[in-house]
Chain A
Amino acid sequence: MERQLFVLQRLTALVLAPLVLVHLGLIVLAIRGGLSAAEILGRTQGSVGWALFYGAFVLAAAVHAPIGLRNVLNEWTPLGRRAADRLALAFAVLLLALGLRAVLAVVA
């Protein structure tokens, strides 16, 4: 299990690295270019590409971040191993739910 989590965290980091760069570039572009919310939605709604891009982003983040959080909880809190596992899992579910909801809201 530990080995799988170790691998998953690194593979998702690999996926996240370019996605985060594109995401940050996109924010700068949208703000500096003065795109309105309506203009942004006009580009994202119905777009399979953006759905796939942000869907992958959310999925990778929901796997990557809770594994790191689990390590932080183990190292920095007196919580037991099991409690850390459960909290990290709950955080993963939360990230996944909020993220997918946000993706749906802009592409559906």
Chain B
Amino acid sequence: MPGGRNQEGRCQPMTDAVGDPGELLVRVWRGAEEGAFASYRVPARPNQTVLDVVTEVQRHHAPDLAYRFACRVGVCGSCAMTVNGVPRWTCRTHVRRVAAEGTLTVEPLRSLPRIRDLAVDMAPFFEKWQAAGAAFEPSATRADAPARVDPAAPERRAADAGIECINCAVCHAACDVVAWDTGYLGPAPLLRAWTLVNDTRHAGRAATLERAMERGGCASCHTQGSCMRHCPVGLSPTEGIAGLKRLSLAAMFLGGG
């Protein structure tokens, strides 16, 4: 039987050669910081996502393969991996869009410590969220009336444009400055800071702005735009970071900063 499937139709480890067009050659990173790619063949199916392929490899050939996913519908942000060299949310990435000549290379996300196989330690990413002042500080108590927020106000519109981040760390992995400078907060934490600075209910707006302009903050951004290009939900951290710079400079020259 071509492609190395056994009688039960399960995939087998193979040499790196593309064969049957009805099959995919999948190269998967095995190991932690040290490791190697292992190759598997899995059946090519219609409407197959990269996460489906990784799951197929794990179910049928490598039960000890470590990877992370939860919702499978692009909400939880836990399944991001590097697919053919590009950071992507694997549950919403169709194989037919990314498989170069029937080959998929799946690696863990860049710029995060590798735990095992495709699973990375997300702690440094979330620590940067905290360092960027990601926590909302209420300016009212539960005894107060709900805040009236005009959805058409410029500040609210700016916050809304960045609020749907799913914390997948694709932007973190896509950013070259994050890869070069471990002290840089990165796109997602700074976008979070931008949404907070624009949230009129946030009590610490000046402090959040101040923190975003400290060392490792938005002044480190090179405006390369990789975060914006690769964000799976179409957000623009680049725009948020530019906004933070603008507000910060305005505060410096006009006072209040």
- Say yes or no: is B75 at the interface (Cβ < 8 Å to chain A): no
Q: How many Å from the CB of B50 to the closest CB on chain A?
A: 31
Known: A7-B252, A71-B220, A75-B177. A2 touches B213 (CB 8 A): yes
Bound Cα distance from A6 to B177, whole angstroms:
16
CB <8 Å contact, A75 and B252: no
Interface presence of A74 (CB below 8 A): yes
How many A residues are at the interface, by size bracket? 10 to 19
* A1: nearest chain-B partner, CB-CB: B215
Interfacial chain A residues near B252, Cβ < 8 Å: 3-4, 7
Residues of A within 8 A of B180 (CB): 75-76
- Min C-beta distance of A7 to chain B, whole Å: 6
**A5 interfacial by beta-carbon distance below 8 Å:** yes
**Is B219 an interface residue, CB under 8 A from the partner?**
yes
Is A81 interfacial (CB-CB < 8 Å)? yes
* Cβ–Cβ contact B183 & A5, under 8 A: no
Q: Given that A74-B183, A75-B181 are contacting pairs, would A6 and B215 also be in contact in the complex, using a CB cutoff of 8 Å? A: no
Is B219 within 8 A of A5, CB to CB? yes
Neighbouring A residues of B162 by C-beta, 8 Å = none
Decide if B183 touches A2 in the complex (CB within 8 Å): no
Q: With an 8 A cutoff between CB atoms, is B249 at the interface?
A: yes
Chain B, interface size: which category?
10 to 19
Whether a CB of chain A sits under 8 angstroms from the CB of B49 is: no
A2 is contacted by which of B181, B214, B257 (Cβ under 8 Å)? B214
Assess whether B245 is interfacial by the CB under 8 Å rule. Answer: yes
Report yes or no: B245 in contact with A6, Cβ–Cβ below 8 A. Answer: yes
Interface members, chain B 210-247 (any A CB < 8 Å): 213-215, 217, 219-220, 245
Closest to A5 in B: B219
How long is the Cα–Cα vector from A4 to B248 in the complex, in angstroms?
10
Cβ-neighbour of A6 out of B183, B213, B257 (below 8 A): B213
Question: Among residues 1 to 38 in chain A, which have CB atoms less than 8 Å away from a CB atom of chain B?
Answer: 1-7
**Chain B, residue nearest A72 (CB):** B180
A6 touches B219 (CB 8 A): yes
Q: Nearest Cβ distance between residue B82 and chain A, in whole angstroms?
A: 21
B183 touches A3 (CB 8 A): no
Within 8 Å CB of B181, what residues of A? 74-75
Whole-angstrom distance from the CB of A31 to the nearest CB of chain B?
A: 35
Chain A, residue nearest B210 (CB)? A3
Instruction: Knowing A7-B249, A7-B252, say if A2 contacts B177 (CB, 8 Å).
Output: no
11 pairs, A vs B, C-beta closer than 8 Å = A1-B215, A2-B215, A2-B217, A3-B219, A3-B252, A5-B219, A6-B219, A7-B252, A74-B220, A75-B177, A75-B180
Q: Which residues of B contact A (CB under 8 A)?
A: 177, 180-181, 183, 213-215, 217, 219-220, 245, 248-249, 252, 257
Sample of 11 further A-B pairs with CB below 8 A, known A6-B213, A75-B181, A81-B215: A2-B217, A2-B219, A3-B248, A3-B252, A3-B257, A5-B219, A6-B245, A71-B220, A74-B183, A75-B180, A81-B183
Closest 3 CB pairs of A and B: A75-B180, A6-B219, A3-B213
